[in-house]
Amino acid sequence: MSAIPANLKYLESHEWARAEADGTVTVGISDHAQNALGDLVFVEVPEVGAVLTKGAAAAVVESVKAASDVYTPVSGEVVATNDALKGSPELVNQDPYGEGWLFKIKPSNPAELDTLLDAAAYGKVVEAEH
């Protein structure tokens, strides 16, 4: 059973989003996603300063058997990226909701967060895929 923390929001495409105290949103991929991909060999993060629209491809996670796009759950400007992933892409596998975060984005429209799936709804998505 893959882990689905209750305090996060999710996309059907297996991204998670966490609203931080400073107003930014941290984005990563779910435990289910990292398991399906297998050992990650490379992560391509967006450039700091990039302005993205909700649903746009923001990053790429690459394993031996797949290279998948990671879509941004909200529109806004990228304010930080996880540099540790350069040397250690496996952090995403080991700790997908913590050390394995991909990027932080300053949302231009915070209301978009409310349109995301909650843990229960995402749990159903994962169940349907099995």
Partner 1 sequence: MAMHEPLIFTHSRAGRRAAGQYPREVEAKVPEHLRRKRPAALPEVSELQAVRHFTRLSQLNFSIDTHFYPLGSCTMKYNPRACNELAMLPGFLARHPLAPENLSQGFLACLYELQEMLKEVTGMKGVSLTPMAGAQGEFAGVAMIRAYHRARGDHERTEIIVPDAAHGTNPATATMCGCTVIEIPSLPNGDIDLDALKQALGPKTAGIMLTNPSTLGVFERNIREVARLVHEAGGLLYYDGANLNAILGKVRPGDMGFDVIHMNLHKTFSTPHGGGGPGSGAVGVGERLLPFLPVPIAAKEGERYRWLDERDLPQTIGRLSAFMGNAGVLLRAYVYMRMLGREGMHRVADFAALNANYLLARLRAEGFDAAYPERRASHEFIITLKRQAKELGVNAMDFAKRLLDYGFHAPTTYFPLLVPECLLIEPTETEAKEDLDAFVAAMVAIQREAEQDAAKVKGAPYTLPVRRLDDVRAAKQLDLAYVEPEQGA
Partner 2 sequence: MPFIPHTEADVREMLATIGAPSIEALFEEIPAELRTRELTGIPPALNEMEIARLMHERAQQDGTPLNFIGAGAYDHHIPSAVWAIVTRGEFYSAYTPYQAEASQGTLQLLYEYQTMMTRLTGMQVSNASLYDGASALAEAALMAVRAHRRSKSARILVPATVNPTYRQVAHTITEGQRLSFDVVPYEPALGTFDPKRLAQYEGQDITAVVIQQPNFFGLFEDVDAITDWAHANGALVIAVVNPLSLALLKPPGEWGTKGVDIVVGDGQPLGVPLSSGGPYFGFMTTRMEHVRQMPGRIIGRTVDLDGKPGYTLTLQAREQHIRRSKATSNICTNQGLLVTAATIYMSIMGAEGLERVAATSQQQTTALVEALTRIPGVTLAFDGLRFHEAVLRLDRPVAPLLAALAERGIVGGYDLSRHYPELGHALLVCATEKRTDEDIARYAGALAELLKSA
| Binding footprint of partner 2 on the chain (CB under 8 A) | 41-42, 44, 47, 62-67, 69
In the complex with partner 1, the residue whose CB is nearer, 35 or 115, is: 35
Interacting residue with partner 1 among 35, 39, 51, 69 (CB under 8 A) = 39
In the complex with partner 2, the residue whose CB is nearer, 13 or 118, is: 13
According to CB under 8 A, which residues from 54 to 113 bind partner 1?
Answer: 62-64, 89
Tell me how far, at minimum, the Cβ of 129 lies from partner 1, in Å. Answer: 13
Q: Rounded to an integer, what is the distance from CA 100 to the centroid of its chain?
A: 9
In the complex with partner 2, the residue whose CB is nearer, 50 or 113, is: 50
Tell me how far, at minimum, the Cβ of 114 lies from partner 2, in Å. Answer: 30
Listed residue (73, 85, 99) closest to 43, CA to CA: 85
Could you say which of partner 2, partner 1, none residue 129 binds, taking C-beta under 5 to 8 angstroms by partner kind? none
Q: What is the DSSP string of the chain?
A: -----TT-EE-TTSEEEEE-TTS-EEEEE-HHHHHHH-SEEEEEPPPTT-EE-TT-EEEEEEESS-EEEEE-SS-EEEEEE-THHHH-TTHHHH-TTTTT--EEEEES-GGGGGGSB-HHHHHHHHHHH-
Question: With binding defined as CB under 8 A, does residue 129 bind partner 1?
Answer: no
**Binding-site ranges for partner 1 (CB under 8 A):** 38-39, 41-42, 62-64, 89
